[in-house]
Amino acid sequence: MTTPNSPDQSIILIKYGGNAMINENLKKEIVQHIGSLKDQGHQVVLVHGGGPFIQQMLDLAKIESEFIGGHRKTTPEAMQYVEMALKGQVNGSLVSLFNSLGYKAVGISGKDGGLAIAKKRLHQQKEGNETKIYDLGQVGDIEKIDVSLVKAILDSGSVPVVTCLAADEKGNDFNINADMFAGHLAGALKAAQYLVLTDVDGLLKDIKDPSSLIKEIPYTEIDSLIEDKVIQGGMIPKMESCRIALQNGAKKARIINGTKPAQIVAATQNENSGTLIRP
């Protein structure tokens, strides 16, 4: 087994979300499997979103949610509740779970230690022959990443548990799509593996046919598969995040089923699970 500071220790970044986040038993299993990777000598980074928890918090605060092209518009009023849900509720519960199972974890967001600098995102949407631009409020894109803090946490032997909030250079806060955040961070860390947990077994040729799993694609085929509507809906940002990760230095990316936590360890052992996206 390698030690925390061993130079040949591989980094595995896991993007966690979906139904596996809501089910407490699944959540515990996922953390246990991440712990297994730690026991095998890997350094592991966990990046999470928390859409259902944000919605619960906004409902409690009686703030209506507006979606434009599938993206949540985030007003300044809503932003404080987004942060409460992501950092206070989801991040805190994951850190506590790691610690209770004997694995040290440190909860951070992109705002901590200058990890991520954001820029405001303007959403473009085709309507007929026109492309319209929509202001999503405090929704941002990643402009740059500084991995110093994450590496310091890894070198201490802990698991960084990262939530997808960031500020711009003027200190304005932004909610970042968790898939995009994870892809940028995986690339910046030159991760040996980037694993995206979703609710299906990977990319399917036919969403209604589980046996139509596509085992492997180069990221150069992503655009054509989007055009052919093989990649659609929530799978689009996941695939885009894999492309971002690979283009920026990650070695391989894989989409696996987070509701089958054993796939986490299997994917790192080159077993044939999920969909492999390669350079």
pLDDT in tens, 75-84: 999 999 999 9
Mean pLDDT taken over the chain: 92
pTM assigned to the model? 0.93
pLDDT in tens, 194-218: 999 999 999 999 988 989 999 999 9
The CA-to-CA distance between both ends of the chain, in Å, stands at 29
Share of residues in the chain with pLDDT > 70 (%)? 96
Angle at which helices 76-83 and 51-60 cross, to 10° = 120
Residue 1: pLDDT band with limits 50, 70, 90 = very low
CA distances from 199 to 51, 78, 117, 133, 217 (A): 14, 27, 30, 31, 19
Counted residue by residue, the chain has a size of: 279
Q: Report the pLDDT value the prediction gives residue 7, as an integer from 0 to 100.
A: 36
